[in-house]
Amino acid sequence: MIYFDHAATTPVYPEVFEEMKPFLKDCYANPSSSYEFGQDAKEMMDRARGQIAKTIGAKADEIYFTAGGTEADNQALIGTAEMLQKKGRHIITSMIEHPGVLKTCEYLEKRGFQITYLPVDEEGIVSPEKLEEAIREDTILISVMYANNEIGTLQPIGRIGEIAKKHQILFHTDAVQAYMHEKIDVNEKKLDLLSASGHKFGAPKGVGFLYVKDGIMLPAFVHGGEQEKQRRAGTENVAGIVGMGKASSIGEKNFEKNHKKILKLREYLKEKLLEEFPDCRINGSMEARLDNNINVSFRNLEAASLLLLLDMDGVCVSGGSACHAKNPNPSHVLQAIHVPEEYIRGTIRITLGAENTIGEINYFIRCLKEIILGFL
């Protein structure tokens, strides 16, 4: 099997698995327990909190553990809305956000909040100038993703952060795809809230985190016990949290090496695609783009057929976001960047990892070429 779908999920690092094993077998105590057995588990959770905080320039007590990126997005948006609803009920986001943000905005709209959905240009980039124009007296939150999960486009997060701070508006970013692919400093980018998900960077599924800047008192999101400083009740996923902390440390240590390798693979893949399929189009910006992402459209072809036949050849790619895998309608992201009708349904997303090779790319290109020739 050749795995080219790292934006959907990543394999768990072997070192992460080994780090987690004791907390699945021997060190199984509840970290809220007062005895030493439980406090050992709590100590490892606190260690993971510090490991993660270090990677984004945050303090350990600004990291809150969640069940993943979607929960973190929900907590950031709904929590901010509830906290500041007396001040205002207007939120700004973009048209190409992940469903974790868009669906949460729809939920808030039904509860009387007003949402401005900013358009993007043909590369998928939000205009900071148009964003600033959209700010109103009752605007309480700006939520713009760090990098798009389908086309890989990076947003001007630093500039948006400056605008948000200038107008004293809280700024949240969904960094699920960008974390460990981009160097992120929450202070430099003037971020108040940031979401990430463990399974996107070598940790297991079912665990993520939300950075909340010190001084922002979000209300409880899950009600019950006093875990996570009374903001998210429920016994913590100790093994997953320990694994996520380990994965963040591995990712930080190997960042430069992995970034260079993946970027080299991506550029090679891009050149081979354009060389072998001159009629294809690469979607999104090639300058402001994640190092591992290629989103490519083929004229008058159906992505569903391409994916099925590639799977039969042992190659895993996707048609876009895994969250939309069962939706037959064209991607909202591709529609927002105005991909032509004859291309939009023939779009596949290839997302690479450090374990991929040039040989795998060559095999993929050969398979793709045979499949497309078979359609002609």
Contact predicate 244/209, CB 8 Å:
yes
* Long-range own/partner contacts, residues 113-119 (CB < 8 A, 24 or more apart): 113/81, 113/85, 113/89, 114/89, 114/90, 115/90, 115/91, 116/90, 116/91, 116/92, 117/93, 118/92, 118/93, 118/94, 118/144, 119/94, 119/95, 119/336
Query: What distance in Å separates the CA atoms of residue 90 and residue 313, rounded to the nearest whole number?
Result: 49
- Catalytically annotated residue among 105, 280, 316, 323: 323
**Rg for the chain, CA atoms, rounded:** 21
Backbone angles phi, psi at 173, to 5 degrees: -130, 135
Query: What distance in Å separates the CA atoms of residue 222 and residue 78, rounded to the nearest whole number?
Result: 12
Cα separation values, 193 from 56, 227, 240, Å = 12, 19, 22
Polymer length in residues for the chain: 376
Contact predicate 335/327, CB 8 Å:
no
Contact predicate 125/83, CB 8 Å:
no
280 annotated active-site:
no
Contact predicate 317/4, CB 8 Å:
yes
Query: What distance in Å separates the CA atoms of residue 253 and residue 270, rounded to the nearest whole number?
Result: 27
Contacts of 9 (CB under 8 A, 6+ apart): 199, 200, 205, 322
Alpha helices in the chain (DSSP H): 14-25, 36-56, 69-84, 99-109, 128-134, 157-166, 227-230, 238-253, 255-276, 303-312, 332-336, 341-344, 358-375
C-alpha torsion angle, residues 221, 64, 131, 89 (rounded to 10)? 20
Catalytic residues: 323
